[in-house]
Structure 1
């Protein structure tokens, strides 16, 4: 039995799942989804504190949706069971689209707000990770 300090890549390797990516890559993707969720939540909160909050309402809403989808994607991606591949595919598609939409929205405010610039970058990493994992799901 493994000790309590197992890292995510070791857990993935122990699960013996057949994906077209290695455990390190899957773990980095899950980390990207979680980082995006955190960045979106922080950006949403920062937008609420801005003087021009009324102009940021679409950004706030897009951030909140993206954060929820990225959190769910990390959870589904960690399921590691071939029976969940259809759900994973649909979740990754949602993550890809939500991350892209959020990155686009945040880029509109990136020159005025550093938090939007940082959030856009996190969303781009999540979008890239979702696309890569979509290609790795077995047919």
Structure 2
């Protein structure tokens, strides 16, 4: 995602009181790390073949989450919570898979950390929404 798009997203998030604390760059970093890990795992070995689709799915979920957050006008809190739950679950699954290879793959280790950071951001967003309700 280019810097102009990230800037527009940040500005839109700041105009919505409930969204002010969601750091979209964390989600972007997770998408980038998952994409890099997916490519590395595909090239590396057949031992990491479960890692590649996990990374692709996680990157897709984060991308969908970011796009949905930009269109908040059509979102209800229940739908937003369900999407945050799905993003958290996908990041958890990807992180767990990458952690199996983290000792011998720097890319998997970095991807696992990016997934953890994204999960934490989504959980914080859910907490903020529940506190505001």
User: What TM-score, normalized by structure 1, do the two folds share?
Assistant: 0.80
Given candidates 32, 40, 51, the residue that maps to 2:34 is 40
Q: Where does structure 1 differ by over 6 angstroms across 4 or more consecutive aligned residues?
A: none
Q: Which residue matches 2:93? A: 101
Q: In structure 2, how many angstroms separate the alpha carbons of the residues matched to 1:7 and 1:98?
A: 26
Q: Secondary structure at the match of 1:109?
A: coil
Deviation at 1:76, TM superposition (A): 1.4
Which string of whole-angstrom CA distances, capped at 9 and with x for unpartnered residues, describes residues 28-60 of structure 1? 1x221121111111101011111xx21111111
- The more displaced of 72-81 and 96-105 is 72-81
Whether the aligned pair in 2 keeps the contact of 1:76 and 1:87 (CA below 8 Å) is: no
Paired position in structure 2 for 1:89? 81
Query: Which among 90, 107, 110 is matched to residue 115 of structure 1?
Result: 107
User: Residues 81 and 47 (structure 1 numbering): CA distance in 2 closer, same or farther, change over 3 Å?
Assistant: same
Contact map agreement 1:12 1:80 (CA 8 A) in 2:
no
**TM-score scaled by structure 2?**
0.83
State the distance in 2 between where 1:83 and 1:104 align.
Answer: 30
Offset at residue 82 of structure 1 (A)? 6.8
Q: Which residue does 1:31 correspond to in 2?
A: 25
2:50 partner SS: helix
Partner Cα separation in structure 2 for residue 36 and residue 68 of structure 1: 10
CA distance in 2, matches of 1:77, 1:7: 12
Higher helix share: 2
In structure 1, distance between residues paired with 2:79 and 2:110: 29
Q: CA deviation at 1:7?
A: 5.0
- Unpaired segments ≥5 residues, structure 2: none
